[in-house]
Amino acid sequence: MKKIKAGRQPNRSRAGDVGVAIVLIIFGAFFAFPLVYAINAAFKPLNELFIYPPKLFVQQPTTDNFSDLFLLLNKQGVVTFTRYMFNSIFVTTVGTIGHIFIASAAAYVLAKYRFPGSRLFFSAVTVALMFTGYVTQIPGYLIMAKLGLTNTYLSLIIPAFAMPMGLFLMKQFIESSIPDVLIEAAKIDGAKELKVYVSIVLPLVKPAILTLMIFSIQALWNNAGTTYIYRDELKMLPFALQTIGAGGVARTGAASAATLFMMILPLLCFILAQSNIVETMASSGIKE
């Protein structure tokens, strides 16, 4: 039998490896282009932002755009930059934690138990995936108005708890990665439902939790909050940055800095969680 070299695929030639690498590099450069452009635009002086033909990389980097951004945020009204930042961080943190908890708990029940209406409920969740946020804005506003939750943080946090994508992904992951015999063995040993959920289900669904965390943070961090909130002191940071971006040509540099500023948190969360997702996917799956 011909000995296969360690670390090489036996069914692909070296030319195939080179071809795959070239394709991946091309696609990687294509997807990285917006990020590279946003980073360079944030550090470009105003004359480089309007130069023609445009240049991708900054020639004379400056931090004036960020200085102008923070100056405008603190001078455009009675609400300070720190207040906008607190609103966004608070809503994003509470909404993400609540979404992960509710989605994982509900998905565990739907994936491992059969009760009257369970299939119908999950079918309704699947149908809800087809509706975008623009379609549900008016019904959502009417519900929040009836509940008296407009102009409160809860008008943004409660809808985040019920995002159907989280429940759908979590249920599919639990069904494929957690065998029934593991849960049955824990119950035979005397573990209660809460103990099974906390000690067995949550550690094994860590990849799905990290994925939901990224999606939830991205959705909440970029939410301006203008649909349900009209008091300036309760609005989110994207609202203030959008106001600056709409201030005309003179604020193009500050708008570029605002774009990069809004990308930092989701990007950092993705970078920090990516390795954990890959590692946990490879090591924590259990098969019957």
Q: Per-residue pLDDT tens for 144-184?
A: 899 988 889 999 999 889 888 888 888 888 888 888 888 88
Question: Kind and range of the H or E element at 161?
Answer: helix 154-161
Closest among 238, 70, 255, 263 to 156, alpha carbons compared: 238
Same domain, yes or no: 79 and 183: yes
Q: What pLDDT shows up at residue 4?
A: 45
Asked whether residue 3 is assigned to any structural domain, the reply reads no
- Domain residues for the domain of 54 are 14-62
Burial of 257 (0-12, 13-18, 19+ CB in 10 A): buried
Closest among 237, 169, 178, 246 to 209, alpha carbons compared: 169
d(CA 11, CA 20): 14
Whether residue 55 is predicted with pLDDT greater than 70 in this model: the reply is yes
Whether residue 286 is predicted with pLDDT greater than 70 in this model: the reply is no
Q: What percentage of the chain has pLDDT greater than the value 90?
A: 7
Total number of domains constituting the chain: 2
Same domain, yes or no: 71 and 189: yes
Same domain, yes or no: 18 and 119: no
179 in Cβ contact with 287 (< 8 Å): yes
228 in Cβ contact with 151 (< 8 Å): yes
Whether residue 107 is predicted with pLDDT greater than 50 in this model: the reply is yes
Same domain, yes or no: 197 and 71: yes
Asked whether residue 231 is assigned to any structural domain, the reply reads yes
Same domain, yes or no: 45 and 174: no
Whether residue 118 is predicted with pLDDT greater than 50 in this model: the reply is yes
Same domain, yes or no: 27 and 77: no
Q: What pLDDT shows up at residue 284?
A: 41
In b/e form, how buried is each residue of 198-224, taking b as 16+ CB within 10 angstroms? eebbbebbbbbbbbbbbbbbbbbbbbb
Asked whether residue 242 is assigned to any structural domain, the reply reads yes
Measured between alpha carbons, how far is residue 44 from residues 16, 57, 208 in Å? 41, 9, 38
Indicate the pTM of the whole model.
0.79
Whether residue 2 is predicted with pLDDT greater than 60 in this model: the reply is no
Whether residue 264 is predicted with pLDDT greater than 50 in this model: the reply is yes
Asked whether residue 88 is assigned to any structural domain, the reply reads yes
Q: Which of 15-24, 103-112, 178-187, 267-276 has the lowest mean pLDDT?
A: 267-276
The confidence band for 97, taking pLDDT boundaries of 50, 70 and 90, is very high
Asked whether residue 5 is assigned to any structural domain, the reply reads no
The mean of the pLDDT values for the chain is 81
Asked whether residue 91 is assigned to any structural domain, the reply reads yes
Same domain, yes or no: 125 and 36: no
Asked whether residue 6 is assigned to any structural domain, the reply reads no
